Amino acid sequence: MLNLEKLKEIENKYEEVLKKLADPQIISNPKEYQRYAQLHSQMSDLIEAIKRYKNFLKEIDEVEEMIAREKEAEMEKFLREELETLRREKERAESDLKERLIGRDTRDEKDVIMEIRAGAGGEEASLFGADLFRMYGKYAEKQGWKTEVMSVSPSDMGGFKEIIFEVKGKGAYSKLKFESGVHRVQRIPVTESGGRIHTSTSTVAVLPEPEEIEVEIDPKDLKIETFRASGPGGQHVNVTDSAVRITHLPTGIVAQCQEERSQIQNREKAMKILLARLYEKFQREQEEEIAQARRSQVGRGERSEKIRTYNFPQNRVTDHRIGLTLYNLERVLEGEIDEIIEALASADKAEKLKSL
């Protein structure tokens, strides 16, 4: 049986949303009104499912009381048949309600900004970061998504110390959200003359790209600087202050971009990165405030977690969160990661169901 106190909390929250929608101050604020209207839309079906479930519980209690008082055998038999029907209906209603309680992450349909950074391992870590970027690019291509590099810091041997890119496509966050964390590679580096296997790491962060109304920034809180771009791009990047760095003063979060020749375009991309980082920060803080926050085996892909190992000598990929091991490393690096992503999604759903 589901926790009735939790269901009551949801109903109370829904009542608060209804009150907000009738509040003149909210009505006069389009952004706030839209936010509560979206909450109402998201919750209305769930509230109906809760009512159906509670009605079955009430009807079952009533029939059980009638059976306890009934003295006629024929009527008692009828009531018991009715009770069995109600119990089956209650099970179906409970199953439906659980699915709705788990729900879809409201961010699932969002585009994402992905950040890959070299971790431990020096140049080899940078080269592995380039492998991961290629893997996600191939996967995005198979999904029919578009990718665009927003910022890149190349290494001396063609890898990436850091690369930030946007992935645009339906359901991008729902598929990629489990990729956040530390990815570990075990192989013989091209820089190793003795043929020894080294272990290196790269970190991946997957940030849902927020809508404008979801992150409000006071322009006074921004420090915007321009500087001369460096790296490939011809003479232009070396003679104009086209690169842009934006600092959000209250949080200290910084985003910068120098990939475009235009300062305006660099500013737009840097602002996108900043908004995504702030959105993730606010989401994390909000989740931590909820006492019942789920910290499952799959988790939120904290960057400190070692989530996956790519072992080249054994052609093996292991996702440590769910104990999944595949012996098709070459295919995985070609972007064939559906099996891993589907297994992670299934484990996440199972963990959520256990917590209800």
For 41-77, write each residue's pLDDT tens digit: 888 999 999 999 999 999 999 999 999 998 899 999 9
What are the distances in angstroms from CA 69 to CA 56, 61, 81, 86? 20, 13, 16, 19
pLDDT tens-place string over residues 302-329: 444 689 999 999 999 999 999 999 999 9
The reply to whether 214-289 shares the fold of 112-209+307-355 is no
User: What pLDDT does residue 227 have?
Assistant: 86
Report in angstroms the alpha-carbon separations of 122 from 129, 157, 161, 230.
11, 11, 9, 21
Query: Residue 53 in 3-state DSSP?
Result: helix
Report, as an integer, the average pLDDT of 176-200: 88
The arrangement of secondary structure in 112-209+307-355, i.e. its CATH architecture, is: 2-Layer Sandwich (3.30)
Q: How far apart, in Å, are the Cα atoms of 313 and each of 119, 186, 198, 330? A: 21, 8, 11, 11
Chain segment 289-305, per-residue pLDDT in tens: 433 333 333 444 344 46
What CATH number does domain 214-289 carry, 3.40.50.720, 3.40.190.10, 2.40.10.340, 3.30.160.20? 3.30.160.20
Q: Are 164 and 77 in contact, with CB atoms under 8 Å apart?
A: no
Q: What is the pLDDT of residue 101?
A: 85
Q: Taking the domains of the chain in order of start, what are their residue ranges?
A: 4-102, 112-209+307-355, 214-289
- Residue of higher predicted confidence among 143 and 5: 143
Q: What six digits make up the tokens of 350?
A: 């199972």
Report the pLDDT averaged over residues 274-290: 74
pLDDT tens digits, 100-122: 888 767 788 889 999 999 998 88
**Measured between alpha carbons, how far is 324 from 181 in angstroms, rounded to an integer?**
16
Please give the order of strands across the beta sheet that includes 112-118: 146-154, 160-168, 112-118, 198-208, 181-187, 306-311, 316-319, 324-326
- Residue 273: which residues within 8 A CB-CB, separation 6 or more? 113, 150, 151, 164, 255, 256, 257
Residue found under tokens 């939790």:
6
Q: Please report which confidence band the pLDDT of residue 212 belongs to, taking 50, 70 and 90 as the band edges.
A: low
How high is the pLDDT of residue 88? 95
